[in-house]
Amino acid sequence: MLLGMFILGLSLSGNSVYAEDYGGEYSQDHYETEFTNQLDALPNGGITSIVIQLNEVVVTSSIDHFNVDIYDALNQLTGSLTFDTSQDVFNWYAINFGSGDNGGDEQPEEQDDPCSRIKSKNTETIYHNKTEDLKDKTSLTYETGFAGTKSGDYTDLTTGGSTADEKYLDIIIDDDTEGFNHTHVDDYSIEQDDGTTVSVKPIRMFSPNDVNTLMQIVDRNKNSGDFSPYYMSMTSSDGNYTIKFTGSSADIKTGFNTPAWNKEYIKFMDNDLQSNEKLFLRFLQEKMDITGVELYKINDNGSVEKKTLTTNANGKPVVETTPCPQ
């Protein structure tokens, strides 16, 4: 049982962990050691965004509970929480402010809306010019594209080649990755060794692997609390699209970059009676069981439209188009 009052600080942004005892039964060294041990014990060093926003936490303990007052960087009181002291104070602190998996009511950072992010990205000169260049490459028989970084650089993606088995881009995700834009090419023909010709009809809409790539980027940044910068874009002769992740860390799902998922996707999308937009949104919902991924179309005039799957009066799935604010 902890008595008295003390202050805890975090080892973030160059600040060291510290604890000041005000009449408690333990010394400052005890608090500092125990708190440091709790932080070290967190899985994968998990620290949520709420920790980064804190300047200090003042804990006042009594026999049956303790109160936690939260102060921001300007030393303004921003909130207060009360916990039962039957739990160790350091465990409570680590669970509620240190571990994204076990946290209480986690408060994510305010995020920019996808419409603003997409419009802003498409007005960047380099991004816009590279996207325009991709539009001229949809007639190739292999995909092309580029990667964007948080630091504002863009790098062309490489492909294994231009043969039937080497058409896809090498995607590398690191801590500086912000997103990707790539082509889904037009229909084309391949001449076989026996002289016959095979028609290839690529799907000009996001694939399960594309969704998986977005999820991997978000997952790598899940402790940031702000998923709004990250994107996956697709340029094709049928339209230019971007998918954005708008869910929480609990909505992150990966593992869709497999041949089995690709096979199921190709079968599902083989439907001339429904648009690729509707089929993709249905596949996300019905097959991948994904929430938090939104589809946006970028028109040639720069306007952006959100595409949402809904149902009509007859209960049939339809795509609702909502223009983004100009």
> What element of type H or E holds 56?
strand 56-61
pLDDT tens for 81-137 read: 554 444 434 333 332 333 333 333 444 444 578 999 999 999 999 999 999 999 999
Amino acid at 122: N
What are residue 31's phi and psi, to 5 degrees? Answer: -60, -50
Work out whether strand 4-8 and strand 145-149 pair parallel, antiparallel, or are unpaired. unpaired
Stated pTM of the model: 0.65
Query: Which residue has tokens 């207060």?
Result: 80
What was the pLDDT predicted at 290?
95
H helix runs in the chain, sequence order: 28-40, 49-53, 89-97, 114-122, 125-135, 208-220, 259-269, 276-282
Q: Round to whole Å and give the CA distance between 228 and 117.
A: 7
* pLDDT tens for each residue of 267-308: 999 998 899 999 999 999 999 999 999 999 999 999 999 999
The pairing of beta strand 188-191 with beta strand 177-183: unpaired
What is the rounded CA–CA span in Å between residue 245 and residue 228?
A: 7
């037009």: which residue's tokens?
186
Please state, in angstroms and rounded to a whole number, the distance separating the CA atoms of residues 279 and 290. Answer: 14
| pLDDT tens digits along 251-260 | 999 999 999 9
pLDDT at 112: 75
Residue 122, token pair as written in the block = 């498409």
What is the pLDDT at residue 67? 53
Which pLDDT does position 326 carry in this prediction?
80
53, 61, 63: which is closest to 23 by C-alpha? 61
Q: What is the per-residue pLDDT for 18?
A: 35
Share of the chain above pLDDT 70, in %: 63
